[in-house]
């Protein structure tokens, strides 16, 4: 499989991931707010996080879907996945009994599994960005 095909698969997976988790969070909004409030890191920002996270996830999915904004979408998704990965690592360090506020089927993952999941998506996103940086004409994600 060539790099363009792999880049497209990663792009579609990221769109699916962000659109699905954002929709899931909004469909179960009251539960999402409660779960954020139980976090040892986020309770002071519960209301802000409850709106900003799904909104940013939807925006990133949209940027990845629109041809003129795909590269910005890849960079934005990388920052978002890095943030989520660091958050999960912090939760594992502080208190692993906190309920996951990820949305949908991802809530069924343990914190350790979630860390692996996030790291995998972060690695795939990084790979596409490296390929694009090395040869922007070969990997057309713009």
The domain spans of the chain are 3-134
More confident residue, 109 or 96: 109
Note the pLDDT tens digit of each residue in 85-103: 999 999 889 876 777 777 6
| 3-state SS track over the chain | CCHHHHHHHHHHHHHHHHHHHHHHHHHCHHHHHHHHHCCCCCHHHHHHHHHHHHHHHHHHHHHHHCHHHHHHHHHHHHHHHHHHHHHHHHHHHHCCCCCCCCCHHHHHCCHHHHHHHHHHHHHHHHHHHHHHHHCCCCCCCC
**pLDDT tier for residue 39 given thresholds of 50, 70 and 90:** confident
Average pLDDT over the chain reads 89
| C-alpha span between 70 and 52 (Å, rounded) | 21
The pLDDT of 122-135, averaged and rounded, is 92
25 burial via Cβ count (<10 Å: 0-12, 13-18, 19+): buried
Note the pLDDT tens digit of each residue in 52-75: 999 999 999 999 999 889 999 999
Is pLDDT at 139 greater than 80 in this prediction?
Answer: no
The pLDDT of 14-22, averaged and rounded, is 96
């Amino acid at each position: 499989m060539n790099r363009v095909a792999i880049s497209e698969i990663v792009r579609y997976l990221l769109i699916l991931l962000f659109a699905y988790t954002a929709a899931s969070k909004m469909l179960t909004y009251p539960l999402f707010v409660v779960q954020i409030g139980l976090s040892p890191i986020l309770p002071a920002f519960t209301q802000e996080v409850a709106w900003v996270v799904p909104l940013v996830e939807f925006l990133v999915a949209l940027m990845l879907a629109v041809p003129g904004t795909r590269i910005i979408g890849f960079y934005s998704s990388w920052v978002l996945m890095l943030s989520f990965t660091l958050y999960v690592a912090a939760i594992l360090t502080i208190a692993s009994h906190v309920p996951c506020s990820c949305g949908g089927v991802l809530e069924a993952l343990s914190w350790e599994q979630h860390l692996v999941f996030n790291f995998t998506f972060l690695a795939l996103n990084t790979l596409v960005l490296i390929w694009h940086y090395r040869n922007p004409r070969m990997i057309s994600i713009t």
